[in-house]
Amino acid sequence: MSHKTDRRTFVKSALAAPAAMALSMQAGGQAPATPAPQQAAPAVALPQGKIGNMQVSRLLLGGNLLTHFTHSRDLKYVYNLAAHYNTDEKIIETLAIAEQNGINTLVIHTVPHVLDTLRKYRVEMGGKIQWIVCPTAPVGNDLTEYAQQVEALVKDRCEAIYVFGVNADKLVAEGRGDVIAKLVAIAKEHGVPSGVGAHDANVIMFCEKNNVGADFYVKTLHHHKYPTAPKPHELTAAYAEIPGYWCRDPQELVEFMATVEKPWIAFKVMAAGAIEPASAFQYAFKNGADHVLAGMFDYEIAEDAKIACDILSNIERTRPWRS
CB-side neighbour CA atoms (13 Å) of 294: 34
Angle, CA of 162, 249 and 242, to the nearest 5°: 85
Cβ atoms of residues 244 and 73 within 8 Å: yes
Angle, CA of 54, 267 and 60, to the nearest 5°: 40
Q: Does domain 2-312 have CATH number 3.30.830.10?
A: no
Domain boundaries, the chain: 2-312
Q: Which helix (H) or strand (E) holds 107?
A: strand 105-109
Binning the chain into helix, strand and coil, the percentages to the nearest 5 are: 45, 15, 40
pLDDT at 50 over 60: yes
- Looking at the chain, the whole-number percentage of residues with pLDDT higher than 70 is 86
Give the pLDDT confidence score for residue 67 in this predicted structure: 85
Q: What is the mean pLDDT of residues 116-141?
A: 95
Of the listed ranges 57-71, 72-86, 140-154, 176-190, the least confidently predicted one is 72-86
CB atoms within 10 A of CB 147: 18
Q: What is the pLDDT of residues 231-255, one digit of tens each?
A: 999 999 999 999 999 999 999 999 9
Per-residue pLDDT band at 14 (split at 50, 70, 90):
very low
Give the pLDDT confidence score for residue 45 in this predicted structure: 84
Give the pLDDT confidence score for residue 41 in this predicted structure: 65
